[in-house]
Structure 1
Amino acid sequence: MDDTTVSEEGARFDTDPIGVRLPAPERLTLTSADGVRLHGVHLPTGDPSAGTALVVCHGFTHHTGHPTSRSVLTAFARHAPVVAVDMRGHGRSGGRSSVGDREILDLDAAVGAARAAGYVRIVTVGFSLGGAVALRHAALGAERPDAIVAVSPPARWYSRETAPMRRVHWLLEQPHGRLAARLLKVRLGGTWDPVPASPVEVVADIAPTPLLLVHFTGDPYFTAAHSDALVAASGGHAEQWTKAVEGHGESGTDPAIAALIARWGLAAVG
């Protein structure tokens, strides 16, 4: 058991957003199947739902010590145990970000760690880029979850229909942008070759595993067209929530929405 400091920023996970004392977290050190050293955190709980864990995959530029992500993780931990890792190229993990491609190996490692800890049912929860990773992992990964939640995920790659996404593509595609990404604590890898299958191309393969898609009406990055396309491509299998919320991914997920997501996941796996 480690102390409550789990990131280079000195982030603390011992108190949740409404001031409830949580069990002390444990640091995790994992290795992905392709040899990337990953760091994360396990937030245990004494809740009766301890047979189920939420395995959380953060968004682009986030990590387990990011204040917004930390708030979401601690809100989830009020309802179920949580396992989360910094994806490659983010936070304390090694490697370089492949922006949604090989990160399914990072989520594989996190799900495997949760099962090794004794959790028999796994609900993966991904935000934004992490939502794309969660969808691709559920269709293509080695350690498949028992249910999936994707919050603010893109349906397809190369989306430029909003100003924030055009800025993201500048970071990804321009030499000065890639240097600027380092200021956001993201270490980018090379360009895709070949281009990996997008979430909308694989979402149909997730059935019959329960799947929830969450869209915020005030999302500045992705319009409702992304969520709608994923629902359509799932053949109607995916459940869709549209929330009148300003924000994207973790930034739109307050403790009340985190509670709804956690409860859905626990109910979905029985």
Structure 2
Amino acid sequence: MRLRTADDIVLSADYYADVSGGAGAPAYLLGHGFTGSSRTPEVVSIAERLQELGGSVLVLNFRGHGASEGMSTIGVHEVADVEAGVGWLRARRPDVPVVTLGFSMGASIVIRHAGLGGDPEAVVAVSGPGRWYERGTDPMRRLHFGVETRLGRLVLHRAFRTRVGGGWDELPASPVELAASVTVPLLVVHGDADPYFGIEHARMLAAAASRSQLWIEPGMGHAENAMTAQLVERIHGWARRTVGPSATMSR
């Protein structure tokens, strides 16, 4: 699929239509992590499993990633990417609720999208940062080298097809700041063996939001690479209970 954002960036996306007729299943907007794409095998596996469970899934390539236009802003202007995806899903599937599901950078984006006025029915953030400029782990120190240096950006472009723009002119509101403005149900999922972000990130996000649940997963690593079919199924079960017909009736 091709989508155009409000700031005129053309995005590439893959759509997995609901072919099972699963009653009450939501439509998912799936956002990958930094250097990922809609064609990353782990992302494909997650989307296919959600489709098998009865959901329809739109998997974005965020700006600067994969076949999408533009330059990555590391989770800031990508809020417009999520908004374009949610709008596309609502036009395609006006009969079902939309759940935004993001991993790592994608988790920060879906939280910021909802906190800045986006209107999904629920948000799932997996392995997401609570604050900016995390440098307390080796993987994050390497990531900052890749983003902040000319050599690092060249490596990201050539090795991962990830095109990074310049730095932020102003410090944007962090995910934890905007989590307080998320009014829809928020599920925060984090592994206690995450090598990028410690579990304090998940705890601060869940504590800031008014309608949150926190799952700390024993032995789980980071983001898409650490997902199992069982965890995908549990997340889908949470989404159905939270935004399905029975949940709507109870509200």
State TM-score, norm by structure 2: 0.92
Across the two proteins, how many residue pairs are aligned to each other? 240
Maintained 8 Å contact 2:24/2:240 = no
SS in 2 for 1:222: coil
**Aligned partner (choices 13, 30, 44) of residue 40 of structure 1:** 13
The answer to whether residue 197 in structure 2 is matched with residue 234 in structure 1 is no
Q: Which residue of 1 aligns with 2:107?
A: 131
* Structure 2 equivalent of residue 101 of structure 1: 76
Shift in Å at residue 267 of structure 1? 1.3
Runs of 5+ in structure 1 lacking a partner? Answer: 1-27
Q: Percent identity?
A: 39
Partner residue, 1:220: 195
CA drift at 1:69: 1.2
Quick check: 1:212–1:239 contact (8 Å CA) kept in 2? yes
Q: Deviations over 1:23-52 (max 9, x none)?
A: xxxxx1100000000010111122323662
SS at match of 1:123: strand
Name the structure, 1 or 2, with higher relative contact order (CA <8 Å, separation 6+). 2
Instruction: Tell me the distance in 2 between the aligned counterparts of 1:65 and 1:101.
Output: 22
Q: Does 1:197 align with 2:173?
A: yes
Secondary structure of residue in 2 paired with 1:49:
coil
| Distance in 1 between residues matched to 2:52 and 2:62, nearest whole Å | 23
In structure 2, how many angstroms separate the alpha carbons of the residues matched to 1:51 and 1:212? 17
Question: Partner residue of 2:120?
Answer: 145
The Cα of 1:144 is off from its aligned counterpart by: 1.3
SS in 1 for 2:101: strand
Deviation of the 1:185 alpha carbon: 1.1
Aligned to 1:185: 161
Shift of 1:56: 0.5
- Which of 142, 151, 155 is the equivalent residue of 1:167? 142
The equivalent position to 2:31 in structure 1, one of 57, 61, 65, is 57
Q: CA deviation at 1:234?
A: 2.0
Q: Distance in 2 between matches of 1:93 and 1:197?
A: 25
**Which shows bigger deviation, 89-98 or 44-53?**
44-53
CA distance in 2: counterparts of 1:128 and 1:171, whole angstroms = 16
